[in-house]
Amino acid sequence: MTEEFHELTLTVNGKRVQRRVPARLLLSDFLRQDLHLTGTHVGCEHGVCGTCTVSVNGKCTRSCLTFAIQLQGCEVSTVESVGTLQKMHPLQKAFWEKHGLQCGFCTPGMLMTAMELLAENHAPTREQIADAISGNLCRCTGYETIIDAITAAAAEMREMETQA
């Protein structure tokens, strides 16, 4: 069978994107190769490790289990939208402070998962954080400092909210 192409229009990190893509192009490859957003990483391509996690219409999604063409009209956010070197998100600052990463490969997926959690739950317990990241594998840290980081970020975000 030959490759079948489709028109695709969607929003990625706030920018409208229009492309012609093969039906079978995975969202992970679309983001990394077509849009050069290499912050999203690929670990297993069968939906177990969570490294490829991005946000689709505000919900965490494994980009290796999604075809790009399924997201017509959708809003996709990747780690590149979370913060920058000059303006880090409290989550990124907290991961940095608390040593919530070593090799950094699982980190974008962890950050996206944490973003979804903190949007829904401003004061998660450590158990709730663990449940939220249970589908994100990390081979380096042993997870404890990741939970420390998310806990600290939640506290800082609550503080910022009170001040605002």
- 87-116 residues near another protein, rule: CB under 8 A: 88, 92, 95-97, 99, 101-108, 111, 113, 116
Q: Taking the complex as a whole, how short is the minimal distance between the CB of residue 16 and another protein, in angstroms? A: 20
Single out the residue of 162, 131, 130, 161 nearest to residue 148, CA to CA: 130
**Rule CB under 8 A: is residue 85 a binding residue for another protein?**
yes
The set of residues, in sequence order, having a beta carbon less than 8 Å from that of 104 and lying 6+ positions away, is none
**Rule CB under 8 A: is residue 17 a binding residue for another protein?**
no
Interacting residue with another protein among 11, 17, 65, 151 (CB under 8 A): 65
**Rule CB under 8 A: is residue 144 a binding residue for another protein?**
yes
Q: Taking the complex as a whole, how short is the minimal distance between the CB of residue 154 and another protein, in angstroms? A: 16
- Percent helix, strand, coil in the chain (nearest 5)? 40, 20, 40
Q: Taking the complex as a whole, how short is the minimal distance between the CB of residue 97 and another protein, in angstroms? A: 6
CA distance 72 to 75: 9
Single out the residue of 35, 41, 34, 42 nearest to residue 14, CA to CA: 35
**Rule CB under 8 A: is residue 62 a binding residue for another protein?**
yes
